[in-house]
Amino acid sequence: MKPTLLVLAAGMGSRYGGNKQLDEVGPSGETIIDYSIYDAIRAGFGKIVFVIRRDIEDQVRERFVERLDGKIEVDYVFQEITNLPEGVKVSPERQKPWGTSHAILVTKEKIREPFGVINADDYYGAESFNILRDFLINDTSDTNYCIVGYKLGNTLSDYGNVNRGICQVSPDGFLQNIVETREIQKIKTGAMAPGTDGDPQYFTGNEVVSMNLWGFKPSCFDFLGREFRSFIDRSGMDLKSELDIPTSVDKFVKNGEITIEILMSNERWFGVTYRDDKPHVVENIKKMIRKGIYPARIYQ
Written as one string, the DSSP assignment of 104-139 is: HHTTTTT--S-EEEEETTEE--HHHHHHHHHHHHH-
pLDDT at 234 over 50: yes
Is residue 229 within 8 Å of 187, Cβ to Cβ? no
How far apart (Å, rounded) are the C-alpha atoms in residues 102 and 164? 19
* Per-residue model confidence (pLDDT) at position 205: 95
Pairing of strands 47-52, 115-119: unpaired
Identify the structural domains of the chain with CATH numbers, from first to last: 4-290 (3.90.550.10)
Question: Residue 287 — φ and ψ, nearest 5°?
Answer: -65, -40
* Per-residue model confidence (pLDDT) at position 152: 96
Is residue 9 within 8 Å of 100, Cβ to Cβ? no
Q: How confident is the model at residue 18 (pLDDT cuts 50, 70, 90)?
A: low
* Per-residue model confidence (pLDDT) at position 180: 84
Residue, of 88 and 46, whose pLDDT is higher? 46
> Buried (b) or exposed (e) across 263-299, using 16+ Cβ within 10 A?
bebebebbbbbbeebbebbeeebeebeeeeebeeebb
Angle among Cα 151, 37, 115 to the nearest 5 degrees reads: 75
Residue 21: strand, helix, or coil? helix
How far apart (Å, rounded) are the C-alpha atoms in residues 226 and 276? 40
How far apart (Å, rounded) are the C-alpha atoms in residues 207 and 89? 40
Q: How confident is the model at residue 15 (pLDDT cuts 50, 70, 90)?
A: very low
- Mean pLDDT is highest, among 175-189, 213-227, 268-282, for 213-227
Q: How confident is the model at residue 59 (pLDDT cuts 50, 70, 90)?
A: confident
Half-sphere exposure of 161 (CA within 13 A, CB side): 10
* Per-residue model confidence (pLDDT) at position 19: 62
* Per-residue model confidence (pLDDT) at position 275: 80
* Per-residue model confidence (pLDDT) at position 121: 86
* Per-residue model confidence (pLDDT) at position 20: 61
Residues 6+ apart with CB under 8 A from 2: 44, 45, 46, 47, 113, 137
Q: What is the pLDDT of residues 128-179, one digit of tens each?
A: 999 999 999 999 999 999 999 999 999 998 888 988 999 999 999 999 999 8
* Per-residue model confidence (pLDDT) at position 14: 43
Q: How confident is the model at residue 198 (pLDDT cuts 50, 70, 90)?
A: confident
* Per-residue model confidence (pLDDT) at position 299: 85
Q: Is 138 exposed, middle or buried (0-12, 13-18, 19+ CB in 10 A)?
A: exposed
Q: What is the mean pLDDT of residues 24-47?
A: 95
pTM: 0.92
Query: Which amino acid is it at 156?
Result: L
Is residue 237 within 8 Å of 180, Cβ to Cβ? no
Q: Residue 212 region, left (φ>0) first, then alpha (ψ -120 to 50), else beta?
A: left
* Per-residue model confidence (pLDDT) at position 158: 84
Query: What value does the mean pLDDT of the chain take?
Result: 92
Q: How confident is the model at residue 86 (pLDDT cuts 50, 70, 90)?
A: confident
Question: Residue 98 — φ and ψ, nearest 5°?
Answer: -90, 5
Q: Is the dihedral of CA 63, 68, 72, 76 positive or negative?
A: positive
* Per-residue model confidence (pLDDT) at position 143: 97
